[in-house]
Structure 1
Amino acid sequence: MNSRWMEILQILKTAKEPITSSQLSTDLQVSSKTVRNDIQALNALLQNHNTKINAFRGKGYTLETNGESSLQSLLQGAGDMKEIIPDEPGDRVNFLVERVLLDSGYVKIEDLADELYISRSTLQSDLKKVREILKEYDLTLNHKPNYGIKVNGSESKIRYCISEYIFNLKPAALEESHDWLAALPENDLSIIRNSILSQLREHNIVTSDVSLQNLTTHLAIACKRIRENNQVEIIHEALYEMKDTKEFAVAKEILQDIEAALDVSFPENEVAYLAIHLQGTKLVGPNHGKEKMKTVIDTEIQMLVKEIVNRIDEKYHFQLSNDEELLFNLSLHLKPAINRYKFQMNIRNPMLEEIKTKYPTSFEAALIGSELLYEKVGIYVDEHEIGYLALHIEAAQERMKRASSNGRNCLIVCASGLGSAQLLIYKLKDRFGDTLDIKGTTELYNLPYQSLSDIDFIVSTVPIEDDPGIPVVRVSTILGDSDVDQIERLITKDTSVIEQYVHERYTFLNRQFESSEEVIRFLGNVLMKDGIVEGDYIDSVLERESYSPTSFGNLVAIPHPLEPKTDSTFWSIVTLKKPIQWEDKLVQIVFLLNVNRYKKDDLKPMFHSLVQLVDDRNFVQQLLQCRTYIQFKNKLGNR
């Protein structure tokens, strides 16, 4: 069974509804014909395991099994096969990276070609990609005649690459049996993990499961490399600074436990190297009070966090600057984070994709934090770290939401005097209760001077000609049934997405493009031609993409500029004839977000509406089938 067959089975096994061949071909990046051939071959194999793949015309494929344990044993057996030969180019490259990293000596070219059943020229093509990957870690792949190829570079960079590329490429669960874990016997891994846990408990140290997994991985790699006579080089100044820290003392005790149980000796440099890893964990216990814990946070860190939150508030109007819990939690997180990146210690965020999809506004806000870290500390953090910052920001917004009224905020504009305004207030309160928070009343001529930063919509008894930047509900003073329906839709956030964000002029269906940049430039040029955006618009969108790709999976990308640059909020949309590669994901439908520069805080409801639309895999496929704007608009409206 090859890797693609296994992936087909895993997709069908977890699917809650039929999966079409076009969906499978997109996920697997092969043609629909290849998918059909694979399924035909798979069914022949599955006959012996009480399982079959059913095909339903017009709906797709489902997996039917009369013996779950039999199927599971098939999948487990295939996954455990060390001798399984990668047959796809991408799989071969991953195999080769792992092979040369985990082998300290030279590996002969002819041996690799024979092992993979490929020609020498094909292998050389794959090795070119391997060299490109290693170059990202300041490593090279040297070739020595009659010996073979070998990874060259500093020991710390080699270990970083092993951990970052191999470990983070695999699934997160530590208990799963990965090929790289075969570098050490299972009993050795158990000793390493138990030694870490024992010392963490003894020193009252709390760390996350992910950090524990990272530490175990680091020590597994260290044991293997030391046994092969490879040791890290620590600059004397850094070693001297580490010796008096709590982390150094804890690292020394962990390694003493491992030395006593395993046949390996850790020099002082390795103790310091582990101590630096420990600096990337929270060295505080659960019983430490907040005031006591504040003493371990540097004043510089606290000032940096305040500046980060202030800048986020300036852009997004979250009003989080006085949230002491957010300031404290971010400070506690950034202290070890800065140490991690100072010494190039990788961290993995297993929730990254979900954070980007479910909390896009908080992720965008966290990007501001990453920019400031680079400005002030000279540290460039990756998506995984940005994802953790986003969680803190999202949690702060949830606290604020719960602390405030559960209702939506409105302002009443009434031209017929205080009595009529009061009558309207009483009617609204009687009808909507706590779900509507009336912030005040104003006359039409005073409306331009009112602050609308915390107002969700306006209820007006008179027409408002100038767009205030937020929804307006025109009602009569006596509040009829149709008026009530309009307000209810706003309170439940059931506003018309079509009317608000989608316009025929900026909707392009079934187009042909080859790259993400080509799509962005096309949409940006249309906006520039209409005089809606300025000349720096396209560069701003591309710069935002460079920080973190906006491809969210499910064939959808949601690019946008770094700063709001339009006078209204709307989407520019493109659907594509064929999916294109957008960084690490395939994309076939693009929503370019344009946000009102004068009403920046409407970014979150727009993201919320969009995520709801594109989160449904089948619905995305239905949108891709649309050939006219009317079809597209009706499909969105009928969702």
Structure 2
Amino acid sequence: MTGREYAIIQLLNNVNGAPLTSAQLSAELNVSPKTIRNDIKAINLKLKPYAIQIQSIRGKGFFLEPHNKEGLRKYFLEDTEKKHPIIPTTSKERVNFLLEKLLFNSDYIKIEDLHTEVFVSRSTLQIDLKSVRQILKKYNLFIEHKPHYGIKIVGKETSIRFCISEYIFNQKPLPLEKQQLNILPSSDLKIIRDSILKNLRKYKIIISDISLHNLLTHIAIAYKRISEDAHVHLEKNDFYQIKDEKEYRVAKEILFEIKEKLGVDFPQNEIVYLSIHLKGTTLVSSIRDNNDMHRFIDSEVYLLAKEMVQRIDNHYGMKLAGDKELLMNLSLHLKPAINRYRYQMNIRNPMLEDIKLNFPLSFAAATTGAEVIYDQFNFRVNEDEVGYIALHLETAQEKSKNTSIKRKRCLIVCASGLGSAQLLLHKVENEFRDRVNVIGTTEYYNLANYSLEDIDFIISTVPIERSLSIPVIYVSTILGHSDISVIEKILDHQTANLEKYIFREYTFLNRDFETPEAVIQFLTNQLIINNQADAGYTQSVLERERQAPTSFGNLVALPHPMQAGTTATILSILTLNKPIEWGGKQVQLVILLNVDKSKKEDLSSLFHLLVQLVDNKHVVFELLSCHTYDQFREKIRIS
């Protein structure tokens, strides 16, 4: 059973018998509908002995019909991954397999051994290894070939560990609480985790659950690499700069405890390296009193934050430059972020796709703000970091709407750190201002130490296993539309009319293009030809796309320029006969957002409506079925 076949079964099983079309399944798995249909034929042959079949209804799609539900549970959902190793079948699966094999082995691996494991020809294997080399090159790593021995990865040890952690994060698109590290036995991981928590509490250091997971991952990788006699080498200056810091003492005690229990010796360089990781986490309290936070912020970072917000205001008219809380929180985030990039340390943002989908305006503004970091430090932050900056901007916008009204008392339990916790806090207070007073936030692992005596209920982004005396409402970190409806069925939002931004001359249906660049070139050229934009407009949209792809899932992309550049606000629309790959996702509906450069419009309502539109799979498929401008406009009107 291949990984994709397993995913198809999971998708169909998760909708409880409701049909899914091949187009919907292909959008989820980034393959063509034809491939989905072929996979389903193969699945049915494999599941036939267990009285399980995927049926199809003409015009509606595929659904799972298990005559033997116990068979489905036992033979598929539980036993497939445990008893039958998944053999990589696609080039992408093989590249990931080879990358993992090479990263987690310090010794040489013979090509013949790899050949027998992936069941492909030698020439195909060489093509896949070429892709692996391209990935490794991004980390300044290379594949060394030694006759009669095989191949292995060579390069700086810090780069190898960075690549390993990136691989782990990228291959685990699961909620944090469900993630498992396969680097070490679970018993060893528990010892490491307990040692981290014990010393963080001892030194009164508060970090997010994600930062805790990052530290656990780092130490697990270090443990495995040291066991294979692979050590990091750091400059002497790194040691002298950090040996008197609190983080060095914490790191030393954590690694000493692990040494005592697991028997692996961590040299001084490893202690320094862990100290640097600790300094790259958010070391601020989740208490809402900000009076003591100023001592964490230096003037250089504060000026950087001010310039970022000023540039965002200039481009988007958000009027955030006077928000001292935003500047402080952004500075607190930027200080460890810059440190991470200086030492090539990655950060994972499990909310990235939700942020891009639910807060496209804030994400676009954060991308603009991140340009200031490049101007000053000559490195570009990745999408994960931009996503966290977007959370701070969204928080500031939500806070500006908020008013102080007597509300019920609740506690927020959030796994994603101060930025997302504060965003969730302001979202809840703003949307339920007549009912809710959020008295604080806490990480899941600290909940046991929190008094619930004066709290009416909890809003949590992670499952709480123990029984509590007060109600718990579970939501996503982003507090999307479906989550809000759990607390309140209907909300009042600013209204806008999408129809007034849609024009016949800028709507193109059922077209054929092969690449995102070709689509953007076509749409922007129509604006330039009609004197709605100048000749440099195409390059502005392409440059924004290079910084962070604007594909949001559900077959939709929302490209836009670096800054406003048209004579009116227009939505340029294009639908494709066949989906194309766009930033790692399949896209068939493209909405180019063109903003009037002559006036500072409040775009929040427009972005909100666009998010509602593209977040609804049914509406997207309805729009893709339109063949005329009038049909499309009518679908927009009634959606």
TM-score, normalised by the number of residues in structure 1: 0.82
- The structure with higher relative contact order (CA 8 Å, sep 6+) is 2
- For 2:34 and 2:286, locate their aligned partners in 1 and report how far apart those are by CA, in whole Å: 57
Amino acid at match of 1:527: L
Residue 603 (structure 1) shift: 2.5
The alpha-carbon deviation at position 493 of structure 1 amounts to 4.5
Which residues in structure 2 correspond to 1:75-474 (within 5 Å)? 75-81=77-83, 83-173=85-175, 176=178, 181-285=181-285, 290-403=290-403
Name which of structure 1's ranges 278-287 and 245-254 shifts more when overlaid on structure 2.
278-287
Query: Partner residue of 2:523?
Result: 523
Query: 1:608 aligned to 2:608?
Result: yes
Deviation string for 1:176-230 (max 9, x for gaps)? 575xx44322211111111111111111111111111111111111001001110
CA change 1:341–1:569 in 2 (3 A) is same
Q: CA deviation at 1:601?
A: 2.9
Give the Å deviation of 1:241.
0.5
- Cα pair 1:204 1:284 within 8 Å, conserved: no
Identity of aligned residues (%): 52
Please tell me whether the aligned partners of residues 564 and 600 of structure 1 are also in contact (alpha carbons under 8 angstroms): no
Question: Could you tell me how far apart the structure 2 residues matched to 1:345 and 1:252 are?
Answer: 19
Structure 2: how far apart are the matches of 1:82 and 1:360?
Answer: 41
Conserved? CA contact 1:199–1:254, under 8 Å: yes
1:204–1:285 Cα contact (<8 Å) kept: no
Summarize deviations over 1:329-378 as a string: whole Å, max 9, x none.
11111111111111111010000000001011111111122111111233
Aligned counterpart, 1:415: none
Structure 2 contact 172–179 (Cα < 8 Å) conserved: no
1:422 aligns with: none
* Structure 2 residue matching 1:613: 3-state secondary structure: helix
Distance in 1 (CA, whole Å) between partners of 2:198 and 2:626 is: 60
Q: Which residue of 2 aligns with 1:634?
A: 634
Q: 1: distance between equivalents of 2:286 and 2:540?
A: 44
Runs of 4+ in 1 over 6 A off after TM superposition: 66-69
Q: 1:284 Cα deviation (Å)?
A: 3.5
- Displacement, 1:129? 0.4
Residue aligning to 1:570:
570
Measure the CA separation in 2 of the matches of 1:223 and 1:200.
Answer: 19
**Is the CA contact (8 Å cut-off) linking 1:52 and 1:63 kept in structure 2?**
yes
Q: Distance in 2 between matches of 1:635 and 1:83?
A: 46
The alpha-carbon distance between structure 1 residues 609 and 175, as it changes in their structure 2 partners (threshold 3 A), is closer
| Residue 466 of structure 1: aligned partner | none
Distance, in Å, in 1 between the alignment partners of 2:554 and 2:507 is 20
* C-alpha deviation, 1:255, in angstroms: 0.3
Q: What is the aligned partner in structure 2 of residue 3 from structure 1? A: 3
Contact 1:511 1:577 (8 Å CA) reproduced:
yes
When the two chains are superposed, the root-mean-square deviation of aligned CA atoms in Å is 2.2
- Greater mean alpha carbon deviation, residues 357-366 or residues 37-46: 37-46
**CA 1:200–1:622 in 2, change beyond 3 Å: closer, same or farther?**
same
Q: What is the CA deviation profile of residues 239-267 of structure 1, one whole-angstrom value per residue up to 9, with x for unaligned ones? A: 21111111111100100010000121000
For the residue of structure 1 that corresponds to 2:603, the secondary structure is: helix
CA contact (8 A) 2:315 2:564 kept: no
Residue identity in the other structure for 1:60: G
SS at match of 1:589: strand
Residues in 1 aligned to 2:527 and 2:307: alpha-carbon distance in whole angstroms: 34
Change (3 A) 1:196 1:67: farther
**Structure 2 CA distance for partners of 1:492 and 1:234, relative to 1, 3 Å:** closer
Q: Using the alignment, how far apart are the partners of 2:341 and 2:608 within structure 1?
A: 32
In 2 relative to 1, CA 19–146 (structure 1 residues): closer, same or farther, beyond 3 Å?
same
Per-residue deviation at 1:600? 2.9
Alignment correspondent of 1:62: 63
Do 2:368 and 2:562's aligned partners in 1 also have CA atoms closer than 8 Å? Answer: no
User: Equivalents in 2 of 1:510, 1:163: separation in Å?
Assistant: 42
| 1:156-180 C-alpha deviation (Å, 9 max, x unpaired) | 00000000123332234566575xx
Q: Which moved more, 1:16-25 or 1:1-10?
A: 16-25
Comparing 337-346 with 37-46, which one deviates more in the overlay?
Answer: 37-46
Asked whether the 8 Å contact 2:176–2:210 carries over to 1, the reply is: no
- The 3 A distance-change label for structure 1 pair 252 and 404 is closer
In 1: Cα distance, 2:572 partner to 2:22 partner: 29
Distance 1:223 1:576 in 2: 50
What CA distance in whole angstroms lies between the structure 2 residues aligned with 1:349 and 1:76?
29
AA paired with 2:170? N
8 Å CA contact 1:342–1:379 kept in 2: the answer is no
The Cα offsets for residues 280-302 of structure 1, whole Å up to 9 and x where unpaired, read as 11234456952222112112222
Question: 1:398/1:30 Cα in 2 relative to 1: closer, same or farther (>3 Å)?
Answer: closer
The alpha-carbon distance between structure 1 residues 107 and 56, as it changes in their structure 2 partners (threshold 3 A), is same
Name 1:431's counterpart in structure 2.
none
* In structure 1, distance between residues paired with 2:31 and 2:362: 35
Aligned-partner SS, 1:166: helix
2: distance between equivalents of 1:515 and 1:78?
37
Moved more, 619-628 or 384-393: 619-628
Partner SS for 1:600: coil
Question: What SS does the aligned partner of 1:601 have?
Answer: coil
How far did 1:234 drift? 0.6
Q: Report the alpha carbon displacement of residue 402 of structure 1 after superposing the two structures with TM.
A: 1.7
Deviating more after overlay: 333-342 vs 300-309: 300-309
- C-alpha distance 288-526 of structure 1, shift in aligned 2 (>3 A): closer
For structure 1, list consecutive stretches of 5 or more residues without a partner in the other structure.
Answer: 406-490
Tell me the distance in 2 between the aligned counterparts of 1:24 and 1:284. Answer: 43
- Report the Cα offset of residue 152 of structure 1: 0.8
SS of residue in 1 equivalent to 2:587: strand
**1:463-502 superposed matches below 5 A:** 493-498=494-499, 500-502=500-502
Q: Aligned letter for 2:138?
A: E
**How far apart are the structure 1 equivalents of 2:505 and 2:67?**
53
> Secondary structure of the residue that 1:230 maps to in structure 2?
coil
* Comparing 293-302 and 56-65, the one that deviates more: 56-65
Classify the secondary structure of the residue corresponding to 1:373. Answer: helix
Compute the displacement of 1:76 (Å): 3.2
CA distance in 1, matches of 2:547, 2:607: 19
Q: Indicate the residue corresponding to 2:28 in structure 1.
A: 27
Contact 2:512 2:577 (8 Å CA) reproduced: yes
Unaligned runs of 5+ in 2: 406-491
Measured in 2, the distance between the counterparts of 1:177 and 1:513 equals 38
Note closer, same or farther for the CA distance 1:82–1:215 as it changes in structure 2 (3 Å cut): farther
Contact 2:30 2:585 in 1 (8 A): no
Residue aligned with 2:106, SS? coil
Q: What's the offset of the Cα at 1:509?
A: 0.9
Q: How far apart, in 2, do the equivalents of 1:529 and 1:363 lie? A: 29
Provide the C-alpha distance between the structure 2 equivalents of 1:127 and 1:226, rounded to a whole number of angstroms.
26
Distance across 2 between alignment mates of 1:226 and 1:218: 12
Indicate the larger mover: 39-48 or 323-332. Answer: 39-48
Q: Secondary structure at the match of 1:523?
A: helix
Work out the number of aligned pairs and report it: 551
**Separation in 2, partners of 1:632, 1:537:** 26
Question: SS state of the match for residue 296, structure 2?
Answer: coil
Residue 27 (structure 1) shift: 3.4
